[in-house]
Amino acid sequence: MKSWAQLVADTVRMGGVLVFIEDQAPQDLSKWLNPLGQLFAGKIPFTVRKESDFLRGKYQTGAHDLVFFFEGQDSVLRSVDAYAQGQRVWVSRSTEMPAAVDYLWHTADLGAWLTFWQSLSAQFESLIENWTGVDSDFTPCLFLDRDDVVVRNVPYNKDPDQVELIPEIVELIKKAHDTGYWVALVTNQSGIGRGRITWGEYKSVHQQMLKLLAQQGAWIDECVWSSFIENESVPEGRMFAGLRKPRAGMFQLVKEKLKIDMGNSIMVGDSATDLLAAYSAGVGKCYLFKSVKLEQERETLEKFRATNSGFNYQAISSASAISFGRL
């Protein structure tokens, strides 16, 4: 690895964590970790876990995390191989590393390791601030709500036979793809969080929707759903509150995965929460699609617009009114 300083900075900027496993680690592991706590005062998040935390499902790493293994932790590496996701770093005095890791951090001893972190502390802020992303490569996206936008709304639907596509949706999706847009589904599904629908039932309905689209040559590139509904009795109903619209979590997940140009993206929804979430996420164009609750939703949006001058939307009765192109 040419620049450990840049890799650590990139990890932090993307929300990653430095992860260490205490089993079979150096006896003086605390000394190896001291600079992270003393020099950076929380600016570099790190955690120390046990092998059993991974194996019992008590802890899991993310794609942006850096997971450190020290020379001598070979069996730990093999043990957590299926659980420790993210980028793996092998810290060793040798120039050899296991095939299951991504980077070799070749360091002579603890002293060399401490010297690195001391040098990083002087330039860390500038590395974070001088981030060079790939914004020029970002692509706009057509975001779609599911019920009454892609398919007819059947409350708490668990029957694939009741799935019916909304007229015009196939042509809208095809137009988005022809114009170079991604297409993503972002849908609140409180029925799961309420315990009214199982994941298996949701899956069967979801896959029927995709099947019907595919039969007409249309597809959705990314699908995200939120089951949060403040229901303590159902695990799916009490987790990931930030994903549920009008929060912007689902949009942010799609943005990170597909490299979305949010300012030139489009949201089509049938409720105020759809459009408010899109606005919060930075989506440039918002369309309120006709439904039985159109007037109620427009009233909510007009109240919001009265105190938020940057918010704008267009109520439409036909998907043909949606225009693609950069703002």
Question: For residue range 42-82, what is the model confidence (pLDDT) as tens digits?
Answer: 899 999 999 999 999 999 998 899 999 999 999 999 999 99
Q: Residues with Cβ < 8 Å from 183, sequence gap 6 or more?
A: 141, 142, 144, 173, 176, 177, 219, 220, 221, 222
- Model confidence pLDDT, tens digit, residues 136-148: 578 999 999 999 9
- Specify the range with the lowest mean pLDDT, choosing from 85-94, 154-163, 225-234, 263-272: 225-234
The tokens describing 80, both together, are 């957590």
Query: Mind listing the pLDDT tens digit for each residue in 278-312?
Result: 999 999 999 999 888 889 999 999 999 999 989 99
pLDDT at 1: 43
- The helix/strand/coil state of 286 is strand
What tens digit of pLDDT does each residue of 194-232 get? 999 999 999 999 999 999 999 999 999 999 999 999 888
Q: What is the pLDDT of residues 97-129, one digit of tens each?
A: 999 999 999 998 999 999 999 999 988 888 887
pLDDT at 133: 57
For residue 81, how many other CB atoms are within 10 A of its CB? Answer: 12
Report how far apart, in Å, the C-alpha atoms of 168 and of each of 154, 272, 320, 321 are: 19, 21, 8, 11
- The one-character DSSP state at 153 is -
pLDDT at residue 255 in the model: 94
Q: Strand 222-226 to strand 87-92: parallel, antiparallel, or no bridges (unpaired)? A: unpaired
pLDDT value for 136: 54
* Active site amino acids: 145, 147
Secondary structure (DSSP) of 159-200:
-GGG--BPTTHHHHHHHHHHTT-EEEEEEE-HHHHTTSS-HH
* Residue 26: exposure state from Cβ atoms within 10 A (0-12, 13-18, ≥19): middle
- Please report, in angstroms and rounded to a whole number, the separation of the first and last CA atoms in the chain: 40
- Give tens-digit pLDDT for 237-268: 888 889 999 999 999 999 989 999 999 999 99
Q: How far apart are CA 245 and CA 242, in angstroms?
A: 8
**Domains of the chain with bracketed CATH:** 4-129 (3.40.50.10490), 136-321 (3.40.50.1000)
